[in-house]
Chains A and B, each alone.
Chain A
Amino acid sequence: MTYMNRVFKALSDPTRRRVLQLLRERPMTAGELAGHFPFSKATMSAHFAVLKEADLVDAEKHGKSITYRLRLSVLEDALLAFADSFGIGFPAPTVSKSAKEQPQ
């Protein structure tokens, strides 16, 4: 997959775009970021992996936690704003925390 394809794929999901908006405020750990979403850790890890693969975030390991930092070019920032303005994409099917925690 080419670099731009990876960027388009990463920016096509609203959850991943929200992660990027949160990282605009400050670098955050995976746990802090996950706290803003009703998804399982596995789902969030998959989102982080897509963002990292597209080189939109930088991950740094500190002990047991991973800190993510924004790594956007102007073009990627423009694409992010465009995708946000037009509400492109639907959230990928995910397993929410509450659904996972409910007894069978």
Chain B
Amino acid sequence: MNRRIEIALAVALAELTAVAMAMLALRWPQIAGDGMDPVTRRRLLLGVTGIVLCPVWLAVGWLMMRWRAGSSRPRVSADQLRYAQVGLVVAAAFLVLLQAWHAHNVLAGQAVGRETMLRLSTIFAGLLVAVQGNFLAKAAPPTGERAPDPAAWTRAMLRIGWVNAAIGLALAACAVGLPIRMLFPVFLGSFLLLMANSLLQRRGLRRPSIG
């Protein structure tokens, strides 16, 4: 993996972890104590959990990328790895911003710009999916042991890319136009559709050709 990208990810992970630890240290006595009504306690617990999960998301993404980069069955192409790395760095930068905003709200006991941030997060996720989908088939196919047929791989990536680009743009449009209470079901539905499509297309690649 590119050394500069490794350093950028390590810095982002360290910052996210430091904020998460600080938030736990500052707010845990209140959550564990008795002088708080159940609704406020639950809200605070959810807020702190969201902040603590930020470094976990990044660490999981980073580990998965390292595992893919090191795997030789099949070996991912340099193009594919570069696209994934750029996506991870952009996502890390966004996680840092999101966590900072969230930490400010938890510390101040407010919900400043909650709706705006939720909408912005959904737009960001939609655009990231659309842009990554757009470039999916541009990358060279994997090579080595258990590598799929290059032509079938390119066709499958184009199909996945089309679906990703359409769902990503639709998600971004929904984030602008839909009422806020409908965003979560739309987000969840989009995520499930993306996963199902990707799994189906990749499963198709493993099938032996007939005839």
Interface residues of A (CB under 8 A from B): 24-27, 55, 58, 69-75, 77
Q: A74-B133, A74-B158, A77-B162 are in contact. Are A27 and B150 (CB under 8 A)?
A: yes
- Which DSSP category, helix, strand, loop or mixed, fits chain A's interface? mixed
Contacts from B to A (Cβ < 8 Å): 133-138, 140-141, 150-151, 154-155, 158, 161-162, 165
Is A72 within 8 A of B138, CB to CB? yes
Q: Chain B at the A interface: mostly helix, strand, loop or mixed?
A: helix
> Is B138 a contact of A71 with CB atoms below 8 Å?
yes
A27/B151 in contact, CB under 8 A: yes
Question: Most A CB atoms within 10 A — which of B135, B136, B138, B155?
Answer: B138
* Pair B162/A58 contact, Cβ less than 8 Å: no
Across the interface, which residues of B come within 8 angstroms of A71, CB to CB? 137-138, 140
Q: For A25, give its contact among B134, B135, B151 (CB under 8 Å).
A: B151
Inside 8 A of A58's CB, which chain B residues have their CB? Answer: 140
* Closest Cβ neighbor of A56 among chain B residues: B138
Q: Give A27 to B140 CA distance when docked, in angstroms.
A: 12
In the bound complex, CA of A70 to CA of B137 (Å): 9
Contact indicator A69/B150 (Cβ below 8 Å): yes
B150→A74 contact, CB < 8 A:
no
B128 CB to nearest A CB, Å: 14
Bound form: Cα–Cα A75–B162 in Å? 9
Chain A residues with Cβ under 8 A from B136's Cβ? 74
Q: Give the docked Cα–Cα distance between A77 and B134 (Å).
A: 10
- Identity of the chain A residue whose Cβ is nearest the Cβ of B163 in the assembled complex: A74
**Which chain A positions have C-beta within 8 A of B137?**
70-74, 77
Partner of A73, one of B138, B140, B141, B155: B138
Give chain B residues whose Cβ lies under 8 Å from the Cβ of A73.
Answer: 134-135, 137-138, 161
Q: Is the CB of B138 within 8 A of A26?
A: no
Contact of B165 among A25, A55, A74 (CB under 8 A): A74
Nearest B residue (CB) for A69: B150
Top 10 closest A-B pairs, CB basis? A26-B151, A74-B161, A74-B134, A74-B165, A73-B134, A73-B138, A70-B154, A73-B135, A74-B162, A71-B138
Inter-chain contacts of A77 with B (CB < 8 A): 137, 158, 161-162
Residue of B nearest to A26 (CB): B151
A-B contact pairs, 25 of them (CB 8 A): A24-B154, A26-B150, A26-B151, A27-B150, A58-B140, A69-B141, A70-B151, A71-B137, A72-B137, A72-B154, A73-B134, A73-B135, A73-B137, A73-B138, A73-B161, A74-B133, A74-B134, A74-B136, A74-B137, A74-B158, A74-B165, A75-B134, A77-B137, A77-B161, A77-B162
